[in-house]
Amino acid sequence: MRLASGIIFLLCGSARAEVCDPAKLIGPYGFQLSGTTRISGPEKPTASLGRIVFDGKGSLSGVSSAMFTGLLLGNPVTGTYEAQPDCSISWKLQDDSGAFQNFSGVLSSDLSRIQFRQTDPGGAQRGVMQKASDGCTAADLRDKYNYTVSGSTIPMQAGGVSRTVSAKGTLDVADQSVEVDGDCTVRFDLLLRAPEGDLLPMKMRGILVNGGKEILAIETDPGAMVSGRFSFDSK
């Protein structure tokens, strides 16, 4: 009987839920959201990028950019959020047109990362948010980042060709002249080779997160709904 009780105790202990302190959710975070959306009609691919700042008291503000139907739409945003001790979190953003968008997700126990989705009917489902610095310079960049990019492009002119984009590789910062803004936004060019051999230049915009070890990014060329994640590997 004692043995059985001990096993039950161990099983209960291993299933212990994560605990978060909502009061410590303060400061800037970079986010990326990708997938498909049906919010404005038929299902379409989309990719979003932004930076928001939590004030520790239930309010937030920042900027959000989205590639939708091949066009880059950017707006300042404000909103409110509710973070719980069980690490669940929900928030809503309002852009300068007055429209609201709603999101929910789960915090890591150290509050450095949030996996989330848009909860509006038909909203995109693949979202990640990570802690960012209050300010950044080029010195925060690592020399190289391993990356994965995926998504699709649609033609914006007659005669163009739709493409599916999926690639992995290494970004050498010295070779690509990465520009860093004070709010941790980065801009750089990425050159991919298509399956048929063509070279595909891509203009990327990203947010430097995790102390410069990662970049969350989207392609900003017209017609592109492509997202990318860039990670520093110290090995």
Domain ranges for the chain:
22-131, 138-231
Report the candidate in 173, 151, 125 with the shortest Cα–Cα distance to residue 221.
Answer: 151
End-to-end CA distance of the chain: 49
Is pTM beyond 0.95? Reply is: no
In order, the DSSP letters of 52-118 are EEEESSSEEEEEEEEEETTEEEEEEEEEEEEE-TTSEEEEEEEETTS-EEEEEEEE-TTSSEEEEEE
- pLDDT at site 195: 64
Residue type, 141: L
CA torsion sign for 105, 62, 33, 69 is positive
Residues 6 or more apart from 198 whose CB is under 8 A from it?
none
**Tens-place pLDDT, residues 117-168:** 999 998 989 999 999 999 999 999 999 999 999 999 888 777 777 888 899 9
- pLDDT at site 79: 97
CATH superfamily, region 22-131: Quinohemoprotein amine dehydrogenase alpha subunit, domain 2 (2.40.128.120)
